[in-house]
Amino acid sequence: MATVLITGIAGGLAQAAARVLLAEGHQVIGVDYRAVQTPLPTGLTGLTVCRAHYNKTMIEDLFRHNRLDAVFHLGRTGSFKESAGKRFDLNVVGSQKIMNLCVQHGVKSLVVLSTFHIYGADPANHIPIAEDEPLRAGLEFPQIADAIQMDNMATTWVYRHPEVKTCVLRATNIVGPTLHNTLTQFLRLRHVPYLLGFNPMMQFLHEDDLADAIITSWQSGLTGVHNVATDEIVPWRTAIALTRARTFPIPAPVADVFLRATGNFPGYLIDFFRYPCVITDRSLRQQIPWTPRHSLEQTLWSAVADARMNQA
């Protein structure tokens, strides 16, 4: 059995991956710069949890005192509650340190979770977008620059350090019952808006399906950069209908002000409600035995079911 370190363990995705690994008999160590809620959810008995920033001494101790077989770096922060400097420190400097530690301590495999947001939503996008398409997102929105830099760094790492089997996964919209990312929280609103005159095609991936893709990528020895998505593509207004939310239009010129007023909504995401960013994961599925188990309707409903019950 293997010993696996998972970053971002305070989040639902990392915990979903840990749950599967523990059930298979692996030893799992979880680390996060955030506090982890206790008691731990069902299925995480045996999980070792540490709180540490990814570029501090304590993370070095985890590598030094444990013979790690694999690292799942799922701890990229997209939270805009954090300052730009802290996001850069966590996402870029911290990721670089984790990758360096993998080399220094002979870790065999590394999976880095990136995001499809780095492609950007643009009317000039191909449909679907493959891994060799240009990254448009950083042209107008510096908020996504740290995610692009982290992805570029990890992509370069794949070829600079072949001794560590490194896989970079660019996942589409991730939603699910235990997630609290921007899109999942947006879908849980009682009234979910759409931009007047726009209805872009979108994809949604269940948190458990992404956890399975991460684990299968590691177990299959996958390397390189790969999109992770689903075959089911749906217009945004249809997705809203599947969540059984009430909806209403907002004029595009006031969208930025309105969406920021609903919460911590980063400006670059607004373009994803204007223009399509549909990706293909053909490369991934050709190389590993993985397909999503949840349908589009199951995926969306799982993310909002509890909220809808409370709104009844």
Domain spans in the chain, listed from the N-terminal domain onward = 3-177+204-231+279-293
Which pLDDT does position 14 carry in this prediction?
98
Q: What is the 3-state secondary structure (H, E, C) of the chain?
A: CCEEEEECCCCHHHHHHHHHHHHCCCEEEEEECCCCCCCCCCCCCCCEEEECCCCCHHHHHHHHHCCCCEEEECCCCCCCCCCHHHHHHHHHHHHHHHHHHHHHCCCCEEEEEEEHHHHCCCCCCCCCECCCCCCCHHHCCHHHHHHHHHHHHHHHHHHHCCCCEEEEEEECEEECCCCCCHHHHHHCCCEEEEECCCCCEECEEEHHHHHHHHHHHHHCCCCEEEEECCCCCEEHHHHHHHCCCEEEEECHHHHHHHHHHCCCCCHHHHHHHCCCCCECCHHHHHHCCCCCCCCHHHHHHHHHHHHHHHHC
Which pLDDT does position 6 carry in this prediction?
98
What pTM does this model have? 0.95
Which pLDDT does position 115 carry in this prediction?
95
pLDDT in tens, the chain (312 residues): 999 999 999 999 999 999 999 999 999 999 999 999 889 999 999 999 999 988 888 899 999 999 999 999 998 876 556 666 777 888 889 999 999 999 999 999 999 999 999 999 988 898 999 999 998 887 666 678 889 999 999 999 999 999 999 999 999 999 999 999 999 999 999 999 999 999 999 999 999 999 999 999 999 999 999 999 999 999 999 999 999 999 999 998 888 777 777 666 777 888 899 999 999 999 999 999 999 999 999 999 999 999 999 886
Which pLDDT does position 1 carry in this prediction?
92
Query: CATH top-level class for 3-177+204-231+279-293?
Result: alpha beta
